[in-house]
């Protein structure tokens, strides 16, 4: 399946993402929401919405990170993706992106603002092409990459999964 991932990376002009995998922004709304109308913690005005293509292949993972905005993932091609989520109360759950309903997958899943999440593929011999829509729109000021030591201090009961995805 490597050839298919390479084709998507080339055709969609994807570039490496800091959290792992590849991406390219495809949409940024022209309308802005004033910082005074956003929840606390935003550093400035934000576009109403943004969207990207996102691709993982093989053994790549999306490392633990969180956003100040909600993010919706949409499945497009390849194998499924399994997300590990640590919510603000410290509960660890999984969500599966894909089209195999009998395996618990859904073609669209939501990551809520403030949740730590990471992902890997259901089949390391394949790839997953997804889309991500963020609202309020994505800004790198609102992105926080997980630090292994800090996450283990906050959630020691999840040390194995944290070590795997940091």
**Residue 166 and residue 63 in contact, taking contact as beta carbons nearer than 8 Å:** yes
Radius of gyration of the chain from its Cα atoms, rounded to whole angstroms: 16
- What CA–CA distance (Å, rounded) separates 44 from 31? 14
**Residue 146 and residue 116 in contact, taking contact as beta carbons nearer than 8 Å:** yes
Closest CA to 6 of 124, 126, 119: 126
Q: What is the pLDDT along the chain (166 residues), one digit of tens a residue?
A: 456 999 999 999 999 999 999 999 999 999 999 999 999 999 999 999 999 999 999 999 999 999 999 999 999 999 999 999 999 999 999 999 999 999 999 999 999 999 999 999 999 999 999 999 999 999 999 999 999 999 999 999 999 999 999 9
Domains of the chain in sequence order: 2-164 (2.60.120.10)
User: Which H or E element spans position 10?
Assistant: helix 2-11
């Amino acid at each position: 399946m490597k050839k298919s991932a390479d084709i998507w990376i080339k055709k969609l002009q994807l570039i490496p993402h800091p959290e792992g995998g590849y991406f390219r922004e495809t949409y940024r709304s022209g309308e802005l929401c004033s910082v005074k109308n956003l929840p606390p913690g935003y550093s400035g005005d934000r576009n109403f919405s943004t969207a990207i293509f996102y691709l993982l292949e093989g053994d790549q993972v999306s490392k633990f990170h969180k956003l100040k905005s909600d993010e919706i993932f949409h499945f497009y091609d390849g194998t499924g993706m399994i997300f590990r989520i640590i919510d603000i109360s410290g509960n660890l759950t999984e969500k599966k992106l894909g089209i195999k309903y009998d395996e618990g997958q859904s073609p669209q899943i939501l990551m809520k603002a403030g949740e730590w999440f990471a992902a890997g593929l259901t089949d390391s011999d394949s790839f997953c092409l997804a889309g991500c829509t963020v609202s309020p729109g994505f800004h790198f000021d609102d992105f926080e990459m997980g630090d292994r030591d800090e996450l283990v201090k906050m959630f020691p009961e999840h040390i194995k999964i944290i070590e795997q995805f940091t």
